[in-house]
Chain A
Amino acid sequence: MKFTISWLKEHLDTDASVAEITDALTRVGLEVEAIEDRAAALSAFTIAYVIEAKQHPNADRLRVCTVDTGAGEPVQVVCGAPNARTGMKGVFSPPGSYIPGKKITLGKGVIRGIESNGMLVSEAELELSEDHDGIIELPADAPVGQPYATYAGLDDAVIEIAVTPNRADALGVAGIARDLAAAGLGKLKSAPIQPVPGRFPSPVKVTLDFVEEGRKLCPAFALRLVRGVKNGPSPDWLQARLRAVGLRPINALVDITNFMTLDRNRPLHVFDAAKVKGDLTVRRARAGETILALDGKTYTLTDEQVVISDAHNVESLAGIMGGEASGCDDNTTDVLIESALWDPLNIARTGRSLGINSDARYRFERGVDPEFTQAGLELATTLVLELCGGEASEIAFAGELPESPAAIDFPWSEVKRLTGLELPQPEMKLALTALGFHVSGTGERVKVAPPSWRGDVGGKADLVEEIVRIAGLDRVVSTPLPRIKDEVVKPVLTVLQKRTRIAKRTLAARGLVEAVTWSFISHDQAKLFGGGSPKLALANPIAADLSDMRPSLLPGLIRSAQMNADRGFPDVALFEVGQVFKSDEPEGQLIAATGLRRGTARLDGTGRHWDGGGKAVDVFDAKADALALLAGLGVPTGGLQISAGGPAWAHPGRSATLQFGPKGVIGAFGEVHPKILKALDVKGPLVAFEIHIDTLPLPKSKPTKVKPKLVLSDFQPLTRDFAFIVDKAVAAGDMAKTAQGADRALIANVGVFDLYEGAGVEAGKKSVALAVTLQPTEKTLTEAEIEAVGAKIVAEMGKRYGAALRG
């Protein structure tokens, strides 16, 4: 909403400066977004008198002027304008001033050998118009030495405020003035509105053609004819006002409606009566009906939309925009003025579906003052008679005005209860009254009736807001919020929250970089990773490739890895810990911790290196990440099964599923399947893991924080190595587990320290070398006892895997 200071002062008697006014506006909730102060930009330019202008001795087109600037001795100025002459008054620009139209700062100069101390300027040089044919000429009575901007009425700052949707009343200058008056900036002085007596009955009647609940679409409609008007350009003051706020003057009748919209938040419509056939009917549009609107566009309507039609055609889109056919122009002699009430919801919907953003729609969808329907028409009539002459009919009125909202039962103490601010009752009452509220009763509880223009106020809290915004929110005193209990704060994070945090730090500590990728991915990608259900597809995605809620973090990360590779960073390790969606229910949203490594981005280093390195990532890098994550989260992995073969995204021979028991799948790791790489248009090598943090077993709650007792053996551990020849298909991990099981009391650890296939080992077989650590607890083992354990291991290996000791 834009307005000028002088316009504001039509409604507000105030001595406040622009700064005081703008501060107050923001303070009461009408946030100032811009102040355009042309006077400030032009403050250096003053009115001057040309004492003498004579021919420049060295240039035909230049004149040497002696100029009285009103400040001390006359100055000498060289001027090239054809109209510079002795005895004229113009606008002087001293050295050092900035010329906006030329984007230069003026200096003293010597022009063709003659000194020039300033300049006489044109309108173009001040960016006031395109006129650069000559310097500005002012009337003889223009006061020399005065700032030109003040003289020309340019010192009228244009203020732009942001109006929140609840404050429809501030979409008129009069309403803004009311807030400022309440805030102590001056006295409200909007001109009283005199009814204009009708000289004859309105020849055009209005019918509201709605059934039942449709009546709320147009609760009231007032109309009157003014005949014998003379339309044409509106007077300068009106044109200047509209121009200042960015509107183009059209003709007096149209300008009056625009003025009423901005001045009083009362949009009106004017029809050229000669172009209206018969009476007017307000009704729902018929589906498919069209109207050529004043913006020059043709709109096709539906029966959800409301129109005003005459006997033949739709003449106006109710409350939004008039029709071209019945618009007023310079030939208009009889004008129908409409002032109506419309259903805000329907206006909003219609405007949105037709894509029309008019000043009328903007106001009607926020709600205008119902009780100003007729007053607005009277004021508009007065203006029409004043500017265009003519004779007004009586008002034709249809429908009825809605009842005023009920008074609110209001204890003054509510202000302190909600804000902590203690204000004297008279001050609170004054604030409400100044805003147009009617306060009745005395004592601690009163009845407060909101004014008709404040449809947004419905309860006690609204009244508290009105009082504190006028009193000033800066008076609310910052008050420490007491703790609920006077004690050291208890931990607040849930297990899942803690695990999410630790997961991120653990993965980052392994050299992975945390990414945050979109929650939505393309439908095809979602399907590839087990998603793509219609319930998780957006009806209105912002882009075709951001349409489905992600079932996994992998597609986003895989695409990101490729994007980095395309930028010249092929060796990346990324992770994300975030939500994935299995259904549209809250339980269907899980937290996944997912990471990938591409190229040579391994734990111990990235890229080629003199000390080795440069090795491509493989599935064991992903396995190590997954297990490190579980370790970092403190998940006991005793019962963890690592079953060969993973989900569909993984290479079947180079992946595994992580699970606790047959149903307790917690995640997977593996090399990314070549088909997935192809489908996502990315290149490997690419390995990844995925752990669903919600599915991890919860830590057991223990009565104390005491750790289990540490038992240390007095005897040294010893290690024995075994190399077995087994079929290639036998899993070394299983062999290690079996070996460990051979004597649970003695065997502390089994490691796989060598794998070999090739010369010396039969085809289809491999050699697996195990290092078995024995930890005696009671005595030093004898050689015979050690041999016995070894024999047990060898026997088990033979039985389970057909393994033979390597010869």
Chain B
Amino acid sequence: MTDIATLERDVLAALDAAADEAAVEDLRIAALGKSGSISGLLKTLGAMTPDERKEKGPLINGLRDRVQGAIAARKEALGEAALEARLSSERVDISLPVQDGPESRGRIHPISQVIDEITAIFGDMGFAIAEGPDVETDDLNFTKLNFPVGHPAREMHDTFFFAPDDNGERKLLRTHTSPVQVRTMLAQEPPVRVICPGRTYRNDSDQTHTPMFHQVEGLVIDKGAHLGHLKWILEEFCKSFFEIDDVKMRFRPSFFPFTEPSMEVDIQCSRKGGEIRFGEGDDWLEILGCGMVHPNVLRNCGVDPEIYQGFAWGMGIDRIAMLKYGMPDLRPFFEADVRWLSHYGFRPLDLPTLTGGLST
């Protein structure tokens, strides 16, 4: 009996001393392999008498089970230690910076963003987006819009002209997006609800004017569209666009050749520390011009002013962008300075929606 106990003690001691999984495997083969020491003992069972087998069988089998268990336990412990050692050798400097991805570098220009915002608001009110050419005729930019002959806007110092053609007609760069309104009325039967965003041009350049700028105009032609509706649309637009709960607007009688009555609209604001806030304060800031479409314009566009009526308005996209987002100066809009664009621009997926909010 002592030889079984001795064997067990020797094998377990050797296992404890095994340094790695290979040494354990060697011990396993030496004990439990084909010609292993314990396998040898197991083989002796066959030659024993039933009585002897009854006595020795459990002892030898017990020895085998205990040694097997000890080998498995030792293997797992050594595996754990080996993994631990590997992991600790695989450490990286996690502080190393990664590259900025394209989605964090790319930007949408504030003008595009604001046009998308305007589109979201007016789209919800059932307005389509009408566009037209930048190179326009004098007729569509001025004559059809009731600009009298000799109006200062028709002069070279206000408007960009091209050289006259063989008939003496000279095309021009549109000074407003109103010719798009004219094109719309000429092409479409009322009711009309469109907004006309786009580039416009005036021969003007100083701190607050650039020779190219962006405008959005709106036009509603219907049988009952009146000033009260215009007021509502503009109030709703301003609340929605500037993302404020309340807005106070002031309509002042004014004059434009293409509307009658004509108005300029101021919005109430406060100016604190160079920051303009709407819906508070007691300053007024002019933001747009509007009015009822002049009967002459309706007639010029094939619309009977005795049956149909409507209103139009126009405002500077760049200007309302500046008011909302606080750019102090207009000129950098067109200078493509990446510092400015990265700062004032919008992330690629900042999609303005009414449901999710125009700005994030």
**Could you list which residues of chain A lie within 8 angstroms of chain B, going by C-beta atoms?**
26-29, 31, 164-167, 344-345, 348-349, 352, 416-421, 459-462, 464-465, 468-469, 473-474, 476-481, 483-484, 489, 492-494, 497, 501, 504-505, 507-520, 534-542, 546, 549, 556-557, 560, 563-564, 567, 569, 572-574, 577-579, 581, 584-586, 588-589, 603-606, 609-611, 613
The distance in angstroms between the C-alpha atoms of A721 and B73, with both chains bound, is 46
Alpha-carbon distance A166/B258, docked complex (angstroms): 12
Q: Which residue of B lies closest to A164 (CB)?
A: B255
- Known interface pairs A512-B106, A539-B156; A29-B295 also in contact (CB < 8 Å): no
CB contact between B338 and one of A513, A542, A549, A578 (< 8 Å): that residue: A513
Q: Which of B43-51, B55-63, B229-237, B275-283 makes up part of the contact surface? A: B229-237
Is B24 an interface residue, CB under 8 A from the partner? no
Give bound CA distance, A450 to B98, whole Å: 76
Q: Which of A519, A556, A589 contacts B201 (CB 8 A)?
A: A519
Q: Which of A468, A481, A606 contacts B225 (CB 8 A)?
A: A481
- A481-B225, A519-B134, A537-B162 are contacts. A473–B260 as well, Cβ < 8 Å? no
Chain A interface, DSSP helix/strand/loop, else mixed: mixed
- Say yes or no: B334 contacts A505, CB within 8 Å: no
Known pairs A461-B295, A469-B261; A479 contacts B253 (CB<8 A) = no
| Nearest CB of chain A from residue B325's CB, rounded to whole Å | 15
Instruction: Contacts A514-B109, A538-B162, A569-B339 given; indicate if A478 touches B235 (C-beta within 8 A).
Output: yes
Q: Are A504 and B334 in contact (CB under 8 A)?
A: no
The answer to whether B228 and A516 touch across the interface, beta carbons within 8 angstroms, is no
Bound together, the chains give a CA A418 to CA B109 distance in angstroms of 39
Q: Which of A473, A538, A573 contacts B252 (CB 8 A)?
A: A473
Closest A residue to B193 by CB, please name it: A484
Q: Does B315 sit within 8 A of A, measured CB to CB?
A: no
Interface centre among A484, A508, A611 (most CB of B within 10 A): A508
Distance from B239 Cβ to chain A, minimum over Cβ atoms (Å) = 12
CA distance A483 to B339 in the complex (A): 43
Is B287 close to A, CB under 8 A? no
Contact, CB under 8 Å: B127 / A492 = yes
Binding-face segment, B6-14, B15-23, B116-124: B116-124
A465-B261, A501-B112 known; 19 new pairs, CB 8 Å cut-off, are: A420-B226, A462-B260, A468-B261, A473-B251, A473-B252, A474-B250, A492-B127, A509-B348, A511-B101, A515-B341, A516-B336, A535-B165, A541-B160, A563-B337, A567-B337, A567-B339, A579-B199, A585-B135, A603-B102
Q: A484-B126, A512-B106, A584-B171 known; A535 and B337 CB under 8 Å?
A: no
Residue of B nearest to A30 (CB): B253
Chain A residues within an 8 Å CB radius of B105: 511, 513, 573, 606
Asked if B126 and A508 make an inter-chain contact with CB atoms under 8 angstroms apart, the answer reads: no
Residue on B nearest A167 in the bound complex, by CB: B255
Shortest distance between the CB of A779 and any CB in chain B (Å): 43
- Chain B nearest CB from A776 CB (Å) reads 37
B339 pairs with A497, CB closer than 8 A: no
Which of B175-196 touch A at CB < 8 Å? 191, 193
Judging by beta carbons under 8 Å apart, are B96 and A584 in contact?
A: no
In whole angstroms, what is the CA distance A29 to B260 when docked? 13
Measured between beta carbons, the chain A residues less than 8 angstroms from B203 are: 540, 542
Q: Residues on B close to A: CB < 8 A?
A: 96-103, 105-109, 111-112, 116, 119, 123-129, 131-135, 149-150, 152, 155-157, 160-163, 165, 170-171, 173, 191, 193, 199, 201, 203-205, 211-212, 220, 225-229, 231-233, 235, 250-255, 260-264, 292, 294-295, 309, 333-339, 341-342, 345, 347-349, 351
- Can you show 30 pairs from A to B with CB atoms below 8 A apart? A27-B252, A167-B255, A419-B226, A419-B261, A465-B261, A468-B227, A468-B261, A469-B253, A478-B235, A479-B231, A481-B233, A493-B119, A493-B123, A493-B129, A508-B106, A511-B101, A513-B106, A514-B107, A516-B111, A516-B112, A517-B334, A518-B212, A540-B160, A541-B160, A564-B336, A585-B133, A586-B133, A588-B135, A610-B96, A611-B99
A95-B250 Cα distance, complex, nearest whole Å: 41
| Residues of A close to B204: CB separation below 8 A | 542
Residues on A with beta carbons closer than 8 Å to the beta carbon of B225 = 481
User: Considering residues A504, A513, A573, A581, which has the most beta carbons from chain B within 10 angstroms of its beta carbon?
Assistant: A513
- Alpha-carbon distance A577/B111, docked complex (angstroms): 12
B116 surroundings in chain A (CB, below 8 A):
501
State which of A27, A514, A541, A589 has its C-beta within 8 Å of the C-beta of B135: A589
The answer on a CB contact under 8 Å between A508 and B107 is yes
A701 to B152, CA, bound (A): 49
Q: How far is the CB of A621 from chain B (nearest CB, A)?
A: 11
The answer on a CB contact under 8 Å between A538 and B100 is no
Asked if A508 contacts B156 (CB within 8 A), the reply is: no
Chain B residues with Cβ below 8 Å from A474 are 250-251
Contact A508 B337, beta carbon cutoff 8 Å = no
Contacts of A520 in B (CB 8 A): 211-212
A738 → B minimal CB distance (Å)? 33
- Once the chains bind, are A540 and B161 in contact (CB under 8 Å)? yes
- Beyond A418-B309, A473-B263, A604-B99, is A505–B348 a contact (Cβ under 8 Å)? yes
Q: Using Cβ atoms and an 8 Å threshold, which residues of chain A touch B163?
A: 534-535, 537, 539
Beta-carbon contact of A511 and B102 below 8 Å: yes
A558 to chain B, nearest CB (A): 11
| Of A420, A483, A508, A546, the contact of B228 (CB 8 Å cutoff) | A420
B162 with A505: CB separation less than 8 A: no
Q: Which residues of chain B come closer than 8 Å to A344, judged between CB atoms?
A: 150
Knowing A514-B109, A517-B336 touch, does A29 contact B228 (C-beta < 8 A)?
A: no
Q: Which residues of A contact B99 (CB under 8 A)?
A: 604-606, 609, 611, 613
Interchain nearest-CB distance for B344 vs A (Å): 11
